[in-house]
Structure 1
């Protein structure tokens, strides 16, 4: 009977296996049998969780290293196309870069020359990433500057880039009705200039009068706001000098060298513009002998010409084509009548022209009523599907046609 009781009442008669903790000498001091068993169970549980926690920390650390690594994980994806023809062309010569077409009628195409990589690989990049950074838009590109005694003059870069290309405001390149609005006379009135820069949408092109004041300061403010800009050059009108465009007017009877010097003075007043626009000039733009050297200078310096459309006999379009100068012409002057209703009606006429032809150009001056009307109309035109674009977007560029 005593032997049976040692088997713990098991009906099988199997011997009872004792835990080492069943012995008092092996049990931790101060713990009963149940408490000692708990210690071993909790120790195993803690060890498992400690190992799991360390594994989680290692995984998170590895993920952080991958996320913060500069290359190649944070570089925009590129599509690489390699062909035998590309390899041989790369080995022979590096092709000259080309720039977006700014003519009307569709999306701009950016052709990227093959980089200097082994195997002649051609890298195709996202064109939307090539836009000008507005944070530095007020800073001139030193490769596009000729330093002279009278000031900086625009010039083509050694790689062929033009101010017309570099300082142009990006646009969508989409098909559809496009309107370029150019507001001139900036720099003449300080308050009017400030209001135009502050209130006009950045898609509106601003034209600076060469005879204005504080032009460099105003240019920088306009560029920081995102505006494309052009320079207004005084050209001889009919009834000159009774009707006087201002200092250093280019005239029909002046020697070509004298007119060149006067043009250089106007061009040196600011930087970061895509081209020039005539200020008056009814007589000058009809004289071929005067216009030829004038357009020769624009071509040499990579600038466009914007005709304000005031002279029906202007030779500018033909001269621009012959001299390979980017060219645009205004369709309507919107504020010959300084009435808000009349200005809005003219802008509606511009919209109809754009819908019929694909694009249209409106010009005006930095009067308060003009600035207010244009600001209102641009917001409404956008909702009607009209894209407001910089003047360079609708210019005919013979070098890209």
Structure 2
């Protein structure tokens, strides 16, 4: 695995018995001795720890930054309050998605962004090319990002960071831990209650060791991170979202607040608003095989009853909590109704399937206390 970026915590993960593989240009932990299914189950039942330091952590600051950033994402930023997080997308003129991201408001003209690791350099070039020169963009390349996820994450993390107990879903705070500055955000990619902690690389090992010592926790690799997000209907950029996929096709209308649906004024708005009003040509849906056993893998072809090609699976596999196949993909709008019968082509054979909700395991975010 030459030519890959190393995580600051790579030696620590090796000590925990991690197996590594390339991902987004980094040498990433894929699994630990507990194994993918064990890590998945532990996160659903207690606390999973994830090193997601490959993600891009960016700040945008300066007079007018709110209005300028709003021209690049369809989320309503002006209404947000300090400490509030919103999920959004960097859209393109064709209505497609350059990347999806989390946006946090810290002050009137101070913003924090977390973007996908494989896209972060393209994202920064896009931001620099579209934001006024007066606005400062800072990339925190020397910061780690650790996710703490699961039903016991709140109580466990509050022993280290008392602020965790009071944070609800999609809220963040800048604070200190053991005299180290940290950003603590209540969000994640597992469908569970949990947090993401940003900390400088030179302090990251202290944090990792403290989290490891929590009795409820275990380290989790990218293998289980994928099955956890897939079970709860969360998109993966590059699979379920691309430069050719609009937020409406991806069933992400909920992430575009009412003012932006009316006013537009962001890249790709003409196409996206037309799709809101007139419908998109296709839609992201869940797909379940009738036999309840056969996994539908990425790129599985989907056909209608006449045998015509109509779409494909973009993410699929086995869901340990669901205890069965979980998959999502795109089909024409007129075939996106729940219960619509489809045919998946699996190893050259026709497998009857139906459209279902892409959320196979209910999300358990803590939205209020």
TM-score bracket relative to the smaller structure: under 0.3
TM-score normalised over the length of structure 2 = 0.23
Compare the two structures and name the one with the higher strand fraction.
2
Compare the two structures and name the one with the higher helix fraction.
1
TM-score normalised over the length of structure 1 = 0.21
